[in-house]
Amino acid sequence: MEINGVPIDETYAEAFTMHASRVLITAFSKQWALEAARSMAGFGTSVIGCGCEVGIEGVEPEQTPDDRPGVNVLLFAPSKKAVQEHLIKRIGQSVMTSPTSACYNDLEAEDRLSVGGKLRFFGDGYQISKRLEPPIVGNGNRARRFWRIPVMDGEFVVEDRFGVQKAVAGGNFLLLGNELPDALQAAERAVEAMRKVNGVIMPFPGGIVRSGSKVGSRYKFLNASTNTAFCPSLRRQVQSELPDGVAAVLEIVIDGLTAEAVAEAMRVGIRAACGPGIVKVSAGNYGGKLGKHQFHLHQLLAN
């Protein structure tokens, strides 16, 4: 299979199950909503070292509960408990601290986690509970409880409970380029296209990974290490997967609320990336050691 003259490896991306929540941050202006969202997503690239994976969703909310500019943030972690812990920490330290911000649940799910109900104690007894009956934006048929916490610029409004559901993390593809600038430009095109897909994030810096990893290491204290088969500098020292002429490889990792969302993001991203300077497109699979979700490139791109 080829797209725009670029061969597509007959392989699959291996992904794994995590749990996820979607947080809606609003503020006085889009700038301040983004400031809070960027802070919340900081140091949230990989569950390997960060404990969770967090990013700003590219598709903006059409409407918000308080009719102010808003930004969605997706957070992925290995368990419901871990999602709750990271939501409390990141909303408390990065959203509540940000001027004019408010924070709402934006994921309709059967399971819900107490978040605002934990953060309310910052109000030192002066916090106020407010319950709104349906219909309100993004509510479905459930009543919603909010906490109004006094802060120095007025009050911080945060939803009592946030939805959590099973999700998919670690969808990926690899761009093998003649030169680093070619690979980088292709990856940038891919990320730009993928940000238009609802329900996904690319959690690494700018959506792109230079230090792709494999499962395991020769060091017992590490459970992941550099993907030696795709490192150009190791071509003559290891069993390399790189054809001649490849000088740089960049990876794009995708987390999604559903497997379908991850598949769609991979599909549009690969198609956008294929162009001059790309020798081949491949993906990271680990022989079933990482997770149960498999995204076969040929099958994705044929649909």
Query: What is the model's pLDDT at position 139?
Result: 55
We report the CATH number of the domain holding residue 150 as 3.30.70.520
Query: What is the model's pLDDT at position 137?
Result: 57
Say how far residue 89 (Cα) sits from the centre of its chain.
Answer: 18
**What total number of domains does the chain contain?**
2
Same domain, 133 and 218: no
**Domain end marker among 165, 189, 222:** 165
Same domain, 107 and 91: yes
Domain that holds residue 191: 2-14+167-302
Sort strands 70-77 and 200-201 into parallel, antiparallel or unpaired: unpaired
**Domain end marker among 165, 199, 227:** 165
Interacting residues of 113 by C-beta distance below 8 A, sequence separation 6+:
21, 80, 83, 84, 87, 161, 162, 163, 164
**Domain end marker among 147, 165, 183:** 165
Same domain, 58 and 146: yes
Work out whether the CA dihedral 187, 189, 192, 197 comes out positive or negative: negative
Query: What is the model's pLDDT at position 287?
Result: 78
Same domain, 77 and 124: yes
Same domain, 69 and 129: yes
Same domain, 291 and 155: no
Query: What is the model's pLDDT at position 274?
Result: 97
DSSP class of residue 61 equals P
pLDDT per residue as tens, the chain (303 positions) = 999 999 999 999 999 999 999 999 999 999 999 999 999 999 999 999 999 999 999 999 999 999 999 999 999 999 999 999 999 999 999 999 999 999 999 999 999 999 999 999 999 999 999 887 665 555 566 789 999 999 999 999 999 999 999 999 999 999 999 999 999 999 999 999 999 999 999 999 999 999 999 888 999 999 889 999 999 999 999 999 999 999 999 999 999 999 999 999 999 999 999 999 999 999 998 777 778 999 999 999 997
Same domain, 142 and 78: yes
Same domain, 94 and 210: no
Interacting residues of 81 by C-beta distance below 8 A, sequence separation 6+:
none
